[in-house]
Structure 1
Amino acid sequence: MESEANVLGGELAPCGTDPMTGAMRDGYCYPLQRDPGRHEICAVMTEEFLQYSKGQGNDLVTPRPDLDFPGLEPGNRWCVCVPRWMEAELADRAPPVVLEATSEDVLEDISRSTLEAHEHDGGETQSAASNGHSN
């Protein structure tokens, strides 16, 4: 991956490695010509977003070993598609965004102020599951 910028203008930070995210499964949310879904927003999964996405036909909860997809749970960081995040935002189901790990290309479609309104406030932790949630 060549050096990419985030929505804050700094160097793009990794989004998540457990589970490994990104269109290339390298932990980063950056634009790729061969990724028409535009998995460029680093978001922290919430139950509301996971259920919303499933209702829209994109089940992110069920593991898919054939696609090397472990299934997601609340607290996981994942590179989500720009159009899906925008739909979820309109439906009041948008997950929190990790600005440091979200590609600056997203700003072509979503304002920085909108992204900041959904900023994840959990610091640099990989998973919100460590904040007392248990399964």
Structure 2
Amino acid sequence: MAKNVFGEPIMVCSSYPLTGFYRNGCCETGPDDLGTHTVCAVMTKEFLEFSFSMGNDLITPRPEYTFPGLQPGDKWCLCVSRWAEAYKAGIAPLIILEASHEKTLDYISLEELVKFAFI
């Protein structure tokens, strides 16, 4: 069973839109997840625009991939590297720690993550 950043069973990040590398609603990861989609983040307009400017369009619906496009307030499993880029740019979205995979801690300390906890 996958664990979150607290070492507890991981919670669902979002069922709609359905998120996760494995599209099971959870920010689980494995050897085939090269992007390490482990951070359950709450989207903001600023982050979505930032991601778009970095070449990852999370806004535009893609029906062929059953992707509705994201809006502010949606929860989504982000690549840990994209979240870290947004953090360095000063626009990192808040995180649902209970739904963020423990692998995130290989890249960002729990101390830093807690500062962005969605409450």
TM range (shorter): over 0.9
Report deviation, 1:109. Answer: 0.6
Runs of 4+ in 1 over 4 A off after TM superposition: none
Give the partner amino acid of 1:61: I
Q: 2:101 aligns with which of 100, 103, 112?
A: 103
Listed one character per residue, the Cα deviations across residues 16-73 of structure 1 (whole Å, up to 9, x for unaligned) are: 0011101111100011211101111000001110010001010100001122211000
Matched residue count:
119
Distance 2:9 2:33 in 1: 21
Of the two, which has the highest radius of gyration? Answer: 1
Q: Corresponding residue for 1:44? A: 42
- Which TM-score applies when normalising by structure 1? 0.86
Q: Corresponding residue for 2:75? A: 77
Q: Corresponding residue for 2:21? A: 23
Gaps of at least 5 residues in structure 1 are 122-135
Distance 2:94 2:42 in 1: 5
Identity of aligned residues (%): 46
Residue 112 (1) aligns with residue 110 (2): yes
Gaps of at least 5 residues in structure 2 are none
- Which TM-score applies when normalising by structure 2? 0.97
Distance 2:6 2:118 in 1: 14
Q: Corresponding residue for 1:59? A: 57
